[in-house]
Amino acid sequence: MKTYFRLLSFAKPIEKFAIPYILFTILYVVFSTSVLALLIPLLNTLFDNNCVPAHNTTAAVKELSIFDLKGWFDYYLQHFIQTKGKWGALQFVCIVIIVAAFLGNLFRYLSQRIMESLRIHTLLNIRKAVFNNVINLHLGYFSNERKGNIISKIASEVQVVQFSVTGTLQVIFKEPLQLIAFLITLFSISVKLTLISLLVVPVAGLLIARIVKRLKSQATAAQNSYANMVSYLDESLTGIKIIKAFNATDFITTRFEDENNHYSRIVKAMSRRQQLASPVSETLSITMISFIVLYGGYLVLNNRSDLTPAQFVGYIGLFSQLMRPAKAISDAFSNIHSGLVAGERILELIDEKPQIVDAPGAITVDGFHDKITLENISFAYNERLVLKDINLEIPKGKTVALVGPSGGGKSTLMDMLPRFIEPKEGAVLVDGVDIRKITTNSLRSLMGFVNQESILFNDTIFNNIAFGKTGVTREQVEEAARIANAHNFIMETENGYDTNIGDRGSKLSGGQKQRISIARAVLNNPPIMLLDEATSALDTESEKLVQDALNNLMKNHTSLIIAHRLSTIQNADIIVVLEEGRIVEQGSHNELLEKNGLYRKLIDMQTFNVD
């Protein structure tokens, strides 16, 4: 129930939907039940030669309550019999049945409209909550979680959840109300026959309950299998070039087909159980009705019942509808089980706490004025210590390069500055202020990023350069592209700045993608630039163009760069050499060469490519 009420909170303000839904449902139940109840006066009018007892005096009419629908109906039925004969009374009954059926279906339609609005409203809120939380999670979460699992939860499981949440309104209100209305009407016709008839209903309920018992565990397995399939699909499309290059097409196809077959088997098993419920319930319904016809008919034929033939036929018609809401309740509980399983997974994603949050009273900053300071920084991934006792100053306007063997902690150190991760010990200060006291938005607005892997989107060149900004003019974008050495190749594309670059920039070369990324950083024009191996994956010609663009970018900016190529960092103001998470050397290119330490060793071993 805790899971259900958490999910129900996404339907707020639920009273906006629940109140009109309840009102329309009550009216639907009243009119739809009355249609079946009117079978009795209809048959009496046709076949009973005796007068129907009714209110036929003015005094009797005055005694009728405005809510006594049966009393008013009986009065007017008797009135038509006396004034228009049976033919007139039959016309009256048929008109009342038509009006009742019309009103019943009208209110059913209105209640379904309200329910659909509630479903859409709930779906909107759940997806919004899931996406907003996912987009704010720390980067480590995405390293451990398959992207396909996240996509599955947002795309498919949310859909299951919203149907189960809104469906409970029917379970707790509409169908029970319909069931109660039928029972009240049946008891009003014959208490004895109804009590005997209801003895067989629990038997039907137990049989149907056994059928749906395993649906919850099957729903869990189906959702897990579907998430795996989405993950395999995402990985296959992302790595299609590698798959083909390593002749792994058969392996990938087999892996996907195996999971697809597994998912299909689970869905078939679920479908068998769900589909079995309907014929079983219908068979039981026919069996019960046949039993009641046999038993009730015996009583009527032997004058051992106070039921008239018309009442008995009407009773059978009403009882035949009794299992419909009962079955609907059973089916709804089956769907709710599936929805709650998916709901638990959705709530896990919503409850996943961001590692980085703004402290209460966090301040905003309006610029970068002095220096960045890292004081006694230590950081560990789980139990593995990555950074140890890091102390470093990055003065305003200077370029600081991080170099060292792979795994030395360079990228981890850089990720400290925008608070992608936080130190276990020590502090990062911007202009003397601990960045944990600065809002993440204002902190990151000070920084621009260019990575080894260019993160581009399936959109136009213009929109990729202007990403995250509004009100940008074509002239501003073109100026940024010129600084990034990108304008010339952009103008050679099919539609210039309006050219779509494909998924992840697949229509561009590596160097072109990097220059688009640099143009994006130029347009943003932050005071601090973070460059992570921005040229390491490029050929010599592309590297020169990109390096020139980077040099343009770093002018008048404070820059922290990571690179494996000497040409990228030899002109840096400060070169910091990291080894096993510690700063072992620090100085300019010439100063470090003279020290004849690790930096010189790295160059001699040709870890850097000397031009």
- Tell me, yes or no, whether 300 lies in a domain: yes
Domain holding 368, by residue range, is: 361-446+564-611
Statement to judge: residues 342 and 390 lie in one domain: no
- What CA–CA distance (Å, rounded) separates 187 from 197? 11
Specify the pLDDT at position 332.
Answer: 65
Statement to judge: residues 132 and 262 lie in one domain: yes
Decide if 464 contacts 520 (C-beta within 8 A): yes
- Tell me, yes or no, whether 508 lies in a domain: no
Specify the pLDDT at position 570.
Answer: 82
Half-sphere exposure of 562 (CA within 13 A, CB side): 20
Mean pLDDT over 233-248 rounds to 72
Token pair for 520 = 């994006």
Buried-state track 69-93, b at ≥16 Cβ within 10 A, e below 16: eebbbbbbbbbbbeeeeeeebbebb
Q: What digits encode the pLDDT tens for the residues 425-467? A: 999 999 999 999 999 889 988 988 887 777 788 889 999 999 8
- What CA–CA distance (Å, rounded) separates 108 from 31? 10
Specify the pLDDT at position 66.
Answer: 61
- Tell me, yes or no, whether 342 lies in a domain: yes
- Tell me, yes or no, whether 462 lies in a domain: no
Statement to judge: residues 151 and 232 lie in one domain: yes
Q: Assign 245 a pLDDT band (cuts: 50, 70, 90).
A: low
Statement to judge: residues 45 and 9 lie in one domain: yes
Statement to judge: residues 336 and 373 lie in one domain: no
The lowest-confidence range among 65-74, 76-85, 90-99, 150-159 is 65-74
Q: What digits encode the pLDDT tens for the residues 289-342? A: 777 778 777 777 777 767 777 777 778 877 777 767 766 666 666 566 666 777
Specify the pLDDT at position 165.
Answer: 67
Statement to judge: residues 255 and 302 lie in one domain: yes
Give the domain-ending residue among 351, 376, 398.
351
Statement to judge: residues 366 and 341 lie in one domain: no
Nearest to 396 by CA among 433, 361, 424, 368: 368
Phi, psi dihedrals of residue 114, rounded to the nearest 5°: -65, -45
- Tell me, yes or no, whether 382 lies in a domain: yes
Give the domain-ending residue among 351, 381, 396.
351
CA terminus-to-terminus distance, the chain: 68
Mean pLDDT computed over every residue of the chain = 79
Q: Rounded to 5, what percent of the chain is helix, strand, coil?
A: 65, 10, 25
- What CA–CA distance (Å, rounded) separates 305 from 296? 8
User: Token match 């980085």: residue?
Assistant: 356
Statement to judge: residues 276 and 130 lie in one domain: yes
- Tell me, yes or no, whether 540 lies in a domain: no
Statement to judge: residues 400 and 277 lie in one domain: no
Per the model's pLDDT, the better-predicted residue between 16 and 565 turns out to be 16
Is 50 exceeded by the pLDDT of residue 274? yes
Statement to judge: residues 289 and 407 lie in one domain: no
Q: What digits encode the pLDDT tens for the residues 347-357? A: 877 777 766 77
Mean pLDDT over 495-508 rounds to 87
Decide if 289 contacts 316 (C-beta within 8 A): yes
pTM of the model: 0.64
Give the percent of the chain with pLDDT over 70: 79
Q: Assign 611 a pLDDT band (cuts: 50, 70, 90).
A: very low
> Residue 432 belongs to a domain with what CATH number?
3.40.50.300
> Residue 55 belongs to a domain with what CATH number?
1.20.1560.10
Nearest to 185 by CA among 21, 23, 29: 29
Statement to judge: residues 310 and 419 lie in one domain: no
Phi, psi dihedrals of residue 234, rounded to the nearest 5°: -60, -45
Is 60 exceeded by the pLDDT of residue 51? no
- What CA–CA distance (Å, rounded) separates 530 from 563? 11
Specify the pLDDT at position 417.
Answer: 92
User: Token match 């399983």: residue?
Assistant: 341
- What CA–CA distance (Å, rounded) separates 295 from 288? 10
Decide if 33 contacts 181 (C-beta within 8 A): yes
Q: Assign 478 a pLDDT band (cuts: 50, 70, 90).
A: very high
Structural domain total, the chain = 2
Mean pLDDT over 126-143 rounds to 77
- Tell me, yes or no, whether 451 lies in a domain: no
Specify the pLDDT at position 330.
Answer: 63
Buried-state track 353-390, b at ≥16 Cβ within 10 A, e below 16: eeeeebeeebeebeebeebbbbbebebeeeeeebbbeb
Statement to judge: residues 257 and 328 lie in one domain: yes
- Tell me, yes or no, whether 366 lies in a domain: yes
Give the domain-ending residue among 351, 369, 401.
351
Specify the pLDDT at position 433.
Answer: 93
DSSP state of 137: S
